[in-house]
Amino acid sequence: MMQPIATIKRTKEIQDKYQIFTKKNYGQNFIIEPKIVEKIADYAIQDPDELVFEIGPGIGALTEFLCQKAKRVIALEIDSRLPSILQAEVKGDLTVLLQDVLETDIDQLIRSYRKPNQKVVFASNLPYYITTPILFRLFEAKEPIERITVMMQKEVGQRFLADSKDKEYNALSVITQYRCDIKKVMDVSRHVFWPKPNVDSMVLSFSFHHRYALEQEELFFEMVKACFQQRRKTIANNMGKWIKDKMQAEQILKAAGIDPETRAQQLGLEEFIKLFDEVKFYEG
Ligand code: SAM
C-alpha cells in the first residue's frame, strides 16, 4: 500500500518525480508525519458534509486527510507548480485554485462554493510569513464560518491564547476572542517538517461562537487596533490619536468606566465592548 504524502519517503518521491524543490519565499515546509495531519483533519472536520477550504496545500500532506474525511475540499495555493501535482496525487473531490489568499475576497469565495445551510471550515498548515494577515481576513469575513484549525509558529499561537495579563496580549487577541473560542490542539516539533524550519509550531482550533453581534463591527476592530497602536502609551493617548482629540478621548474613557491612564493590554474584551458603546455615542 502507498504511504501517506506526509512521510519523508513520499515527499521526496513526489519532489523527484515532478522535479520540484521547496520555495522558501512561499514558506514551504511540508509535514512529514502522518499522525499530525490526521489529527488536524480530525479537529477541522466534524461532519463529512462540511465544506472545507484549505490554505496552502503544498504537495498535499494535509489535503489527503481532509479529502478522506470530507466530501468536498477547495484548496488555495499560490505556487503555480503545485495544482497539477495535487490533482494527480490526491484522491477525492478536490478543487485547487491557483490563488494568493491575501488577494482573495473570502466572502466571495465562500459564496461561490457553499450550498444553502452548509457549514464552512478552514484548515491549514499556514505559510508562517503571513499568518496574521490571513487570520485577520478570516476573522473579519462576514459569511459564516464554523471553525478554523491551523498550524502556526508557536510564539504566534501563544499570543492567541494570551489573556489581558500576559505580555503577548494584543489587538488580534481581542478581535479573535470577540469572534471565537480558542483551543490548543497540540504543540508540534520542528522535526516533523521538510525542510526543517528554525521554529516550533502549535495547532489551534478557533470555533466561532456568535456571542456578540455589534453593529459597525469594522469600526470596533479599527478602535481595538488603534488602542494598541503604541503599547507603552496610555489608552487615552492612543484613543486621542485615533479620534484626533485627547480631551474627548479621556471623557469617553471615563464614561465607559475606564481609567484614562490604563494601557490597552490591561483591558479585557468586555471592557473594549463597553468602550465601543461610548465611542458609537460620540460618533453619532
Ligand atoms: N499544507 C502543506 C503541508 O502541510 O505540508 C504545505 C504547508 S506550507 C507551510 C505553506 C503553503 O502555503 C505552501 O504550499 C505555499 O506555497 C503556500 N502559500 C504561501 N503563500 C501563499 C499565499 N499567499 N496564498 C496561498 N498559498 C500560499
Q: Which of 23, 28, 53 to mutate to test the pocket of ligand 1 (most atoms within 8 A of CB)?
A: 28
For 27-45, how does the pLDDT look when each residue is reduced to its tens digit (9 = 90+)? 999 999 999 999 999 999 9
Q: How confident is the model at residue 257 (pLDDT cuts 50, 70, 90)?
A: very high
Cα atoms in the 13 Å half-sphere on the side-chain side of 151: 28
Report the pLDDT value the prediction gives residue 227, as an integer from 0 to 100.
Answer: 97
Once rounded to an integer, what is the mean pLDDT over residues 197-204?
97
Between CA 184 and CA 161 the distance in angstroms is 8
Nearest residue to 237 via CA among 264, 270, 255: 264
Q: State whether the beta carbon of 102 lies less than 6 angstroms from ligand 1.
A: yes
Task: Evaluate: CB of 201 within 6 angstroms of ligand 1.
Answer: no
Nearest CA owner, ligand 1 atom 23: 100
Per residue in 10-21, pLDDT tens? 999 999 999 999
Q: Ligand 1 center to residue 165 CA distance, Å?
A: 33
Asked whether the predicted pLDDT for residue 280 surpasses 90, the reply is no
86 within ligand 1 shell (Cβ under 6 A): no
d(CA 114, CA 120): 7
| Listed residue (28, 20, 8) closest to 128, CA to CA | 28
Distance 28 CA to ligand 1 centre (A): 6
- The C-alpha atoms of residue 170 and residue 161 are separated, in whole angstroms, by 11
The alpha carbon of 242 and the centre of ligand 1 are apart by a number of angstroms equal to 35
Provide the pLDDT for residue 165. Answer: 78
131-178 pLDDT tens trace: 999 998 999 898 999 999 999 999 999 988 888 778 888 898 899 999
235-251 burial by CB neighbour count: b if 16+ within 10 A, else e?
bbbbbbbbeeebeebbe
Element counts in the chain: helices (H) and strands (E):
12, 9
CA of residue 96 to ligand 1 center, whole Å: 12
Which residues lie closer than 8 Å to 175 by C-beta, 6 or more apart? 136, 139, 140, 221, 224
Q: Is the CB of 77 under 6 A from ligand 1?
A: yes
Backbone angles phi, psi at 131, to 5 degrees: -55, -55
Q: Of 102, 106, 95, 98, which Cα lies nearest the Cα of 79?
A: 98
Indicate the pTM of the whole model. Answer: 0.90
Indicate the residue type of 26: Y
Task: Name which residue sits closest to atom 14 of ligand 1, judged by CA.
Answer: 58
Q: Residue 93 has which C-alpha cell?
A: 473531490
ipTM surpasses 0.90: yes
